[in-house]
Chains A and B, each alone.
Chain A
Amino acid sequence: MAESRRYPRVDCGEDGRSKKQMKPGGLLLYALAVLVVIGGGMWAEIGVTEVAAGQPAQDEFIPLDSVPPEDQLPAAPLLVAAYSLLWVAVLVYLWSIWRRMITVERDLSDLSRRTGDS
């Protein structure tokens, strides 16, 4: 870091947070968002289990070239939840990079204007 190259072997002390550092609030929000989605997925799963329990029991095996419809339904919400979570995670991350980039580039143009003026 440039600061430490200027001031070698000095305790930098309790100064303000460097703009270079990631905002902790973003990390927390991200983690919370994932927790909410997991909670939603679990809630969906609990609802689905009740449906599956109400169906009649099978007393013979059916070959697995085509999966019987009774077996498909309970798994589908899980599958959908998994895929949508992936999409959400990727999109949220790309959006967060974009948002941080906007802030940094705005500050950069501000500063280069100021250094240009001064």
Chain B
Amino acid sequence: MMAMSTRTFGGLLCVAGAMFITAPILIASAPYESTMGLVQKIFYFHVPSWIAMFLAVFICGFSSAVYLFKEKPAADRLAVAAAELAVLFGLMGLVTGPLWAIKAWGVWWQWDARLTMALILELIFLAYLLLRAYGGPGSEKLSAGLALFGMANVPFVYISVNVWRTIHPTTNVLPSLSSSAPGMFGPFVWCMVAFLVLFVVMLTARVRLEEQRGRLEQLYLALER
């Protein structure tokens, strides 16, 4: 399914690396936020982490649905890879968030809707990985079912901050960024693209690992016959 040549993969990896190395320069040149000062700069990595996580969650959810209803093994491989990435990027968001929060809000954690639901998503996909690891044979379909339910939880994450009163910046910050703080928009887009390229690179690598594992399974079975 991810038929990417080694050259393209290597190229994308270099692009991601280059963008990440140059990102701090752009971030340092961006203007400071008036109430949060220096620590707000975690925003340039924190928000793309969460966006990458949601992307992974949706990829996992949709490919799980395809696997459940069409039984395509490639879809299952994509789902596993996306689930691992969802846990990774979620972990990054959950770590950078409190580091920002302790300076900006004075507390490490707040049980407001968005943080809570983000933590829940992380737990769901951790449970997915545990199920794959310990569920025994046949856990592919079961984890696909779980991923679907996990994806169904996502809309509640996004709308919840607009329904609850919360100290978390509202979702209106991002859309208005280009007009309200143009100096911040450029570095943000740079970091966003860097994360997306990195995401594609890691997803490809992980799916390739699953493909090789599948081939290994086939060979073991062929040997048994």
* A–B contact, 8 Å CB criterion (strictly below): yes
What residues on A are CB-neighbors of B34 within 8 Å? Answer: 64
Looking at chain A's contact residues, the main secondary structure is: helix
Looking at chain B's contact residues, the main secondary structure is: helix
Nearest CB in chain A to that of B34: its residue: A64
Q: Given A22-B129, A89-B91, A94-B202, are A75 and B37 neighbors across the interface (CB < 8 Å)?
A: yes
What residues on A are CB-neighbors of B45 within 8 Å? Answer: 82-83, 86
Q: Name A's B-contacting residues (CB within 8 A).
A: 1-4, 6, 12, 14-15, 18-24, 27, 34, 37-38, 41, 45, 64, 67, 71-72, 74-76, 78-79, 81-83, 85-87, 89-90, 93-94, 97, 100-101, 104-105, 107-108, 111-112, 114-115, 118
15 extra interchain contacts, Cβ-Cβ under 8 A, other than A71-B37, A100-B209, A108-B215? A3-B137, A12-B137, A18-B136, A19-B220, A27-B129, A64-B34, A71-B38, A79-B38, A82-B42, A89-B88, A97-B205, A97-B209, A101-B208, A111-B216, A115-B222
Give me the 5 closest cross-chain CB pairs, A-B, nearest first. A75-B39, A75-B38, A12-B137, A82-B96, A111-B219
Q: Name B's A-contacting residues (CB within 8 A).
A: 20, 24, 32, 34, 37-39, 41-42, 45-46, 49, 84, 88, 91-92, 95-96, 99-100, 102-103, 129-130, 132-134, 136-138, 140, 198, 202, 205-206, 208-209, 212-223
